Amino acid sequence: MEFDHTVATTKTNQYSSPEINHDGPINLYRTPPDGHLTLEECQDLFRQRLEALHVFEQYPDFLSKDNKDLVKSGIEQIKSHVFKTNCIKSNQYDKERQRLDHSSHMLVRMYCIRDPNLWGWFKSTERRLLHYRLLFDMILTADQLGLILQSFRFKFERVPFAEVPNLKKEHVIGWNLRDKGQEEVFKVHFTNALKFISKRSVALKEGYAFLTRSEIIILVCDIFEKHLESELNYGSQHLNLSLPQVQHLLDSLEVVYLDYDEKVTEYKRKLKQNDPNGYHNTAAIDVDDIEDLSKNHFPPCMRYLYESLKEDNHLKHMGRVLFASFLRSGGVPMDSAIDKIFRPEFTKKITNEKFKLNYEYNFRHIYGKEGHKKALSCFSCDKMINDNPPGPTDKHGCPFKHFDSTRVRAMMANHGLKANDIESIMMRVDGKEYKSACSLYFEFQRGYPPSEPIRIPVQFYYQSRILANMPPPPLENQGGEENHGLAITEGNLKEATTVPSYADEDSEMGDDF
């Protein structure tokens, strides 16, 4: 198959700049590729590209340390069936590999053009591939980055080196210590830097934002993604799908795509089967059922916070932080937490304006929408037990640690535990084994022990929800001392209740709030 340049040269994409430098250090795929390819080679390159983009689809947060290594090995492993080289691995000096990389991109783009459902996937995964290359494969100089921006007619100014120390003195730059390219500063109008401004990762001066290397790379990727969007639009208007050669090519690519898609679907299905987080979606805290859930599934610490919120129509700072981060990890969206749980209670004593002014920001902060933009995940039991001991009017903390023995006994009796069971739990409390006491509380209340020792309140919640869906324990094992050691068979429980992590990618465990 020969790529026909005439279409591209006679019809100009209205979105593209005519003054394009096609020979930059990194290919932004702004012109058709050169050369001849057989259909089999097209299929081979198409498959390689799909596999590469799938790697980035699997690891959207490819910059995190662990994912970076997985992406690297994923890219390394992409097999070439016809061509001996893996064209995705970039090499500025290997012109043939560059040509094949170019062709593979264009083949996937061409395939996607006719199905707008694929556009979002194509743009975002290609963007990640470019970002990965710019960060780890191909270190471009500031001049080269500037040339790319120029070629897209993007307005910017390079700040002369001599002025950089002044900007540092004025604290306009230099406080982002992760950015090693602090000498390479670009000045752009603030409207072109809104995404950095909203994250507070850049400073402004006289209507301009000063971007250092890592931000410029993100900007280049943004522009590249927009460019892809315009190319897809353009292609959808001008690609002549009725041409037999085009149809023939797309049909043969479709065979590869369907095969790839089937494998990816199967892979995702297996992943979901093995991912207890899939269960999390169905067991998330439903705010409309929170009354029942708090009584039947919340750990004592969170049940107490919720009951205190209803009783006092208020929670003090640490109580708010601990309860809201628990709700967040339990799957409650921010708006539901604010509008259905906190606001209705707080506004029984204060006005809505006062709630907005004094508290709403705090909840938004916990959910990662304000301040340092890192959402908080549920705090661990160790933190609850050891840090921030509650004062006399505080409601936070671990009841097994922070309540006196009369109060903790009363709490357990109120939660329906039998006197004998309470005494067994108290033996652990007296031995300062607070988490172990909590695990036993779980077991006496539910008839099963947790499949793994309690270490995070939200883990208590999910395990409790899972057990609620289990068949009742066998009759011969019910009651008496034997019940405490009730064995749950590997097959039925282990898989369902082993929950690897309660912190998601964008959150932290409340360490630095």
Query: Which positions lie near ligand SF4, rule CB under 6 A?
Result: 299-301, 381, 384, 398-400, 434-435, 438, 454, 457, 460
CB of 439 to ligand SF4, least distance (A): 8
Dihedral sign for Cα 417, 420, 421, 422, please. Answer: positive
CB of 401 to ligand SF4, least distance (A): 7
Burial label for 432, CB within 10 Å (0-12, 13-18, 19+), is: exposed
Pick 399 or 510: Cβ nearer ligand SF4: 399
Q: Which helix (H) or strand (E) holds 188?
A: strand 186-189
CB of 457 to ligand SF4, least distance (A): 4
CB of 190 to ligand SF4, least distance (A): 45
Pick 223 or 384: Cβ nearer ligand SF4: 384
Pick 186 or 326: Cβ nearer ligand SF4: 326
CB of 399 to ligand SF4, least distance (A): 6
Q: Which residues pair with 189 in a beta bridge?
A: 208
Render 38-77 in DSSP notation, one character per residue. Answer: -HHHHHHHHHHHHHHHHHHHH-S-TTSHHHHHHHHHHHHH
CB 458 within 8 A of CB 326: yes
d(CA 147, CA 20): 10
Pick 68 or 383: Cβ nearer ligand SF4: 383
Closest CA to 121 of 110, 111, 112, 130: 112
Pick 71 or 417: Cβ nearer ligand SF4: 417
Pick 62 or 434: Cβ nearer ligand SF4: 434
CB of 307 to ligand SF4, least distance (A): 13
Pick 380 or 507: Cβ nearer ligand SF4: 380
d(CA 294, CA 285): 9
User: Which residues contact residue 361 at a Cβ distance below 8 angstroms, ignoring those fewer than 6 apart?
Assistant: 370
Pick 74 or 300: Cβ nearer ligand SF4: 300
d(CA 47, CA 42): 9
Q: Tell me, what amino acid is at 6?
A: T
Token pair, residue 212, equals 């250092």
CB of 458 to ligand SF4, least distance (A): 9
CB of 381 to ligand SF4, least distance (A): 3
User: Which residues contact residue 97 at a Cβ distance below 8 angstroms, ignoring those fewer than 6 apart?
Assistant: 85, 87, 89, 90, 91
Pick 146 or 299: Cβ nearer ligand SF4: 299
Burial label for 80, CB within 10 Å (0-12, 13-18, 19+), is: middle
Burial label for 337, CB within 10 Å (0-12, 13-18, 19+), is: buried
Q: Angle 485-491-495 (CA atoms, 0-180°, nearest 5)? A: 95
CB of 443 to ligand SF4, least distance (A): 12
